Amino acid sequence: MREAYPVERAVGIEYFVSDGDGVGGRLRDSPEDFRVREIERFDAEPADADPGAYPHLVVRATLREWDTNDFAKRLADALGISRERVSWAGTKDKYAVTTQLFSLRKIDKSDLAEVSIYDADIEVLGRSGRGIQFGDLAGNEFEITLRDTERPENAEEIRGQLADWADESAGAVGVPNFFGQQRFGSRRPVTHDVGLHVVRGEWEEAVRAYVANPYETEPEGSQRARREAEDAFEERDWQAALDAIPPRLGFERAMANQLVESGGDDPEDFRAALEAVPSNLQRLFVNAAQSYAFNKILSERLERDLPFHRPVEGDVVCFAEEVDGLALPDPDREQRVTERRVETVARHCERGRAFVTAPLVGTETELAEGEHGDIEREVLDELDLAPEDFDLPGEFHSTGTRRAILVRTDLAIERDPLTFEFALPKGSYATVVLREFMKNDPAEE
């Protein structure tokens, strides 16, 4: 197998499964080169339905170069409402053209008549009795164009290798369901380091990993600020740490400011510093640690040449439901694979009705048995993690789940320019598919 780049190995991705040279090229040369459209499983009543029974207005927004959170805040401001009255199913990449649903609580269609937001087209779909939630997202359709490719003719060969590896039919591919670079921070992949410290109860080390700890791929000004903050941590001078951090690093400043206020004398002070950032970022720290362990488990399964498209004895599989032709793994429908059931479950996997899983470890995680179970335990031991370690306060607590180790999709390729069209279930990364085709070093993008 072809070895991954250092910045990928830093987040647990050790290999490519296709050996061919990549097509190269540039991703996201313009927002229009990266188009994403949600695959929804959310039904709305007509727009003139009784707002008393259906208090949520449902809209579909097509956004150009908008961060989802930023757009939600801008929309709320334009309507003169709290941001908490705006909800959506999935957060999308900013440098893209994205189409997704939003629900607006206690808003009428007429309220939108005067709303005009730059690079945003808003279409009213109807009303609903509840707001849109994460579970309402089934997946995403992608249309992605690469510019200035060096070897576009290699795309078909790579597609064939990915089909063979996953035992897929013509036109379909499979890749390991890795968490992509953006899960950990594209320029500064340290989120999982913070999370590992949190799970181990190392609160000061967690704050230091986030606030200080310069990374060579981030801007020089940020590196310099973090080096100064590193010195301030050594001196226990929290005011100096705060003074060193520029306003653009807002979350880091929030942590440092909390240390100034508390004195930074004991572990609880550092935990409070971590809790000074938004709750979704607190959860992301732990999620990133889980994702890192997951990536390492998949890399080790690749190293041992164990199949991804079918189970071996001791594996845990989850069954899938089909939504608009997309096989959506359901981690709540699990089954441990015994020797007697291997071939039966393998047939379900081959038909897209079930998927082999690995853990996003948490307090309620049950590990696999057999060789894959050995891999899971060895990786957790290496990281000094155990399920009970995730019994943490507040937003840091996680019960865990399991996640499919393979993502498969029908994939269309067009030339001049080289364009890929495919769909993925929620939580899977388009960049994980594209990395197999491009073979670019993320550190140089």
Is 154 in the same domain as 229? no
Residue 28 lies in a domain: no
Residue 183 lies in a domain: no
Instruction: CATH number of the domain at 302, please.
Output: 3.30.2350.20
Is 10 in the same domain as 39? no
- Domain residue limits at 47: 33-138
pLDDT tens series, the chain, 445 aa? 899 999 999 999 999 999 989 999 999 999 999 999 999 888 999 999 999 999 999 999 999 999 898 899 999 999 999 989 999 998 888 899 999 999 999 999 999 988 899 999 999 999 999 999 988 899 999 999 999 999 999 999 999 999 999 998 778 999 999 999 889 987 788 999 999 999 999 999 999 999 999 988 888 999 999 999 999 999 999 999 999 999 999 999 999 999 999 999 999 999 999 999 988 899 999 999 999 999 999 999 999 999 999 999 999 999 998 888 888 999 999 999 999 999 999 999 998 899 999 999 999 999 999 999 999 999 999 999 999 999 999 999 999 999 999 999 999 999 999 999 999 999 999 999 999 999 999 888 7
Work out the widest C-alpha separation in the chain, in whole angstroms. Answer: 64
Q: What single letter denotes the amino acid at residue 401?
A: T
Is 95 in the same domain as 195? no
Q: What single letter denotes the amino acid at residue 300?
A: E
Separation of alpha carbons 100 and 37, rounded Å: 6
% of the chain exceeding 70 in pLDDT: 100
Integer CA distances (angstroms), 226 to 127, 221, 428, in order: 48, 9, 32
Residue 259 lies in a domain: yes
114: left (phi > 0), else alpha (psi -120 to 50), else beta? alpha
Is 118 in the same domain as 93? yes
Considering 138, 167, 200, which residue would you say is the last residue of a domain? 138
Name the DSSP class of 271.
Answer: H
Rg (CA), the chain: 23
% of the chain exceeding 90 in pLDDT: 85
Residue 247 lies in a domain: yes
Residue 184 lies in a domain: no
Is 50 in the same domain as 95? yes
**Predicted confidence (pLDDT) per residue in 110-126, tens digit:** 999 888 999 999 999 99
Name the active-site residue from 33, 93, 269, 315.
Answer: 93
Domains identified in the chain, total number? 4
Q: What is the pLDDT of residue 2?
A: 95
Considering 277, 294, 319, which residue would you say is the last residue of a domain? 277
**∠ at Cα 85 (84, 87), nearest 5°?**
85
Separation of alpha carbons 26 and 14, rounded Å: 22
What pTM did the predictor assign? 0.93
Residue 152 lies in a domain: yes
Is 265 in the same domain as 289? no
**Predicted confidence (pLDDT) per residue in 296-327, tens digit:** 999 999 999 999 999 999 999 999 988 888 88
And the tokens for 155?
Answer: 């795309």
Residues composing the chain:
445
Give the 3-state secondary structure of 302-371: HHCCCCCCCCCCCCEEEEEEEECCEEEEEEEEEEECCHHHHHHHHHHHHCCCEEEEEEECCCCCCCCCHH
Separation of alpha carbons 190 and 244, rounded Å: 20
Instruction: CATH number of the domain at 217, please.
Output: 1.10.1510.30
Is 173 in the same domain as 215? no
Separation of alpha carbons 340 and 84, rounded Å: 51
Is 285 in the same domain as 368? yes
Is 394 in the same domain as 285? yes
Is 226 in the same domain as 260? yes
Is 257 in the same domain as 151? no
Is 324 in the same domain as 400? yes
Name the DSSP class of 426.
Answer: T
Name the DSSP class of 45.
Answer: B
**CA atoms within 13 Å, Cβ hemisphere of 182:** 13
Separation of alpha carbons 300 and 119, rounded Å: 44
Residue 27 lies in a domain: no
Residue 271 lies in a domain: yes
Q: What is the pLDDT of residue 188?
A: 85
CB–CB of 63/98 below 8 Å? yes
Verify whether residue 93 is a known catalytic residue. Answer: yes
DSSP letter string, 179-215: PPGGGT-SSS--HHHHHHHHHTT-HHHHHHHHHS---
